[in-house]
């Protein structure tokens, strides 16, 4: 019964860790990744949906998210496949090491690619053993009345470099798997003095909840100040924010400066400085019945002097679309944009409505003021600056970077850790010994042949009487 269980286990290892399955999984992985990319872009890049995408739609696999589960399953099987293939490789390496660390008969030594015989004086077996020991070989020796057999192994045996390359791919796939299970990204805009609470409803845009660690963290970030530095007028070269951090219980964690290349780290998440800064105009629209609609218009700071700060808003329920242009003296307070102060001497909105392709100028609206048109009172309630930031969590990234360790180990072993094995039989006779030496190397066989000949000549010289 135990033998049958072992046989079944071996068959499973050979099946799940086989090269054929690796190839099939690699094709599936590539196909699914390509399909996800095509599906994600089909609305933008394709006027007509290809037939294979229509087939996927009929199977309920027509969205990028629906392909996430098959891709996850393939990744899991790929990690299992590489793990078992690495186990099989370790077994082969151990078997090869065992074969290298054993004695060979004269016929086997004679069949080796590097082979030599020579005569030596009596008592040479001790000198031959000493020769290999001094050069860092692991030695095995056995003697009888007339014969001494030995083997000498350096750097072990087996394809350890290939094993580490297998390990590299396995670590990469584990990292990719962790990324799929844990990656989350959210985008938010915060004004100075405002507090951002890390939960899904607080983001302006966010990726789907990951399968692992998808709960809200509930830590808090307060934007104390924004810092925009310009190297030449109108061109942003550095953005930074001064943030106060609080844990989920409200305990103060510190006040730090966040720059584009220097993110904050809190509760397993990285908070990056975003590239968008500007102004939020607080708006209010009301009708004659007193019904009110509030909202914001977003005006991004121009990257070039002379660019206009514009936004389009829709007045919900009224059918009005408004093109708004912001003029504000606040922009002249930013270093590098002083030249724009002349065109933004007062804080006001230029309001233009768009109806049926017709543009109608409705007036200039100062901060705190109101204008009346089409039965609607439109107010410019407030103005404040904002800064953007991105929150990212991905536990797969450090694992992916860790894959460089086995990759580097594999490269070093491949080029600098070349296994070498020697076998020798020393037969004692009247007046001296006959020595038979054979050797193999796993790589660089031509250069090893030259080195073998040189070592045999060196052995002969050591054997000669002084």
Residues 31 and 181: their CA atoms lie apart, in Å, by 20
Which residue would you say has higher pLDDT here, 425 or 333? Answer: 425
Residue 374 · residue 285 · CB < 8 Å? no
Q: Assign 419 to helix, strand or coil.
A: coil
Of 308, 221, 213, the closest CA to residue 263 belongs to 221
Task: Please report the sign of the dihedral spanned by the C-alpha atoms of residue 130, residue 135, residue 136, residue 138.
Answer: negative
Task: Provide the pLDDT for residue 52.
Answer: 55
- Average pLDDT of the segment spanning 143-169: 79
The band of 196, judged by pLDDT with boundaries at 50, 70 and 90, is very high
Residues 113 and 262: their CA atoms lie apart, in Å, by 59
The band of 45, judged by pLDDT with boundaries at 50, 70 and 90, is very low
Tokens 């070093």 locate to 412
Residue 277 · residue 226 · CB < 8 Å? yes
| Each residue's pLDDT tens digit, 291-345 | 888 888 999 887 776 778 899 988 766 667 899 999 887 776 666 566 666 666 6
| R_g over Cα of the chain | 37
Contacts of 466 (CB under 8 A, 6+ apart): none
Mean pLDDT lowest for which of 47-56, 138-147, 332-341? 47-56
C-alpha torsion 115→116→122→127, nearest 10: -60
- Average pLDDT of the segment spanning 201-224: 89
Task: Provide the pLDDT for residue 46.
Answer: 43
Residues 38 and 64: their CA atoms lie apart, in Å, by 9
- The two beta strands, 420-429 and 432-441, are antiparallel
Residues 108 and 445: their CA atoms lie apart, in Å, by 19
Of 410, 416, 457, 437, the closest CA to residue 154 belongs to 416
| Each residue's pLDDT tens digit, 226-252 | 887 765 555 566 778 899 999 999 999
Which residue would you say has higher pLDDT here, 75 or 159? Answer: 75
Looking at the predicted structure, is the pLDDT value of residue 441 above 90?
no
| Each residue's pLDDT tens digit, 66-99 | 566 777 788 788 778 878 887 777 777 777 767 6
The band of 177, judged by pLDDT with boundaries at 50, 70 and 90, is confident
Cα distance between the two ends of the chain:
66
- DSSP line for 28-70: HHHHHHHHHHHHHHHHHH-SS--HHHHHHHHTT--STGGGHHH
The band of 270, judged by pLDDT with boundaries at 50, 70 and 90, is very high
The band of 391, judged by pLDDT with boundaries at 50, 70 and 90, is very high
Task: Provide the pLDDT for residue 21.
Answer: 79
């Amino acid at each position: 019964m135990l033998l049958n269980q072992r046989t079944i286990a071996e068959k499973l290892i050979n099946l799940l860790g086989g090269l054929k399955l690796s190839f099939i999984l690699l094709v599936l992985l590539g196909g699914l990744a390509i399909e996800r990319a095509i599906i994600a872009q089909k609305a933008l890049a394709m006027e007509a949906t290809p037939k294979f995408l229509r087939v996927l739609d009929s199977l309920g696999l027509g969205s990028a998210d629906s392909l996430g589960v098959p891709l996850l399953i393939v990744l899991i099987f790929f990690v299992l496949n590489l793990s078992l293939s690495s186990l099989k490789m370790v077994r082969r390496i151990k078997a090869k090491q065992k074969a290298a660390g054993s004695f060979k008969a004269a016929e086997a030594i004679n069949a080796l690619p590097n082979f030599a015989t020579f005569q030596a004086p009596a008592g040479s077996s001790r000198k031959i053993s000493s020769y290999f020991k001094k050069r860092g070989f692991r030695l095995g020796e056995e003697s009888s009345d007339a014969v001494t057999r030995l083997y000498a192994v350096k750097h072990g045996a087996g394809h350890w470099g290939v094993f580490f390359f297998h390990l590299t791919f396995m670590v990469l796939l584990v990292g990719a798997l962790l990324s799929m299970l844990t990656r989350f990204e959210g985008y938010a805009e915060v004004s100075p003095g405002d507090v951002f609470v890390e939960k899904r409803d607080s983001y302006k845009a966010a990726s789907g909840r990951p399968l692992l660690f998808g709960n809200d963290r509930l830590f808090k970030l307060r934007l104390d100040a924004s810092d925009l530095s310009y190297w030449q007028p109108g061109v942003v070269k550095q953005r930074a924010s001064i943030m106060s951090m609080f844990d989920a219980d409200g305990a103060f964690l510190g006040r730090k400066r966040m720059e584009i290349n220097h993110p904050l780290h809190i509760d397993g998440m990285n908070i990056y400085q975003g590239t968008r800064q500007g102004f939020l105009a607080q708006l209010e629209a009301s009708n004659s019945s007193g019904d009110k609609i509030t909202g914001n218009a977003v005006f991004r700071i121009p990257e070039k002097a002379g660019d206009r700060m514009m936004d389009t808003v829709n007045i919900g329920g009224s059918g009005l679309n408004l093109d708004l242009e912001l003029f504000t003296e606040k922009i002249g307070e930013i270093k590098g944009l002083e030249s724009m102060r002349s065109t933004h001497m007062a804080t006001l909105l230029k309001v233009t409505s768009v109806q049926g392709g017709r543009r109608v100028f409705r007036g200039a609206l100062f901060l705190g003021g109101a204008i009346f048109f089409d039965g609607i009172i439109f107010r410019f309630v407030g103005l404040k600056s904002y800064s953007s930031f991105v929150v990212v969590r991905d536990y797969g990234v450090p694992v992916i970077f860790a894959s460089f360790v086995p990759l580097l180990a594999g490269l070093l072993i491949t080029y600098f850790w070349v296994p070498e094995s020697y076998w020798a039989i020393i037969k004692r006779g009247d007046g001296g010994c006959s020595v038979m030496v054979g050797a193999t190397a796993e790589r660089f066989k031509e250069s090893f042949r030259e080195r073998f000949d040189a070592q045999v000549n060196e052995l002969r010289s050591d054997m000669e009487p002084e």
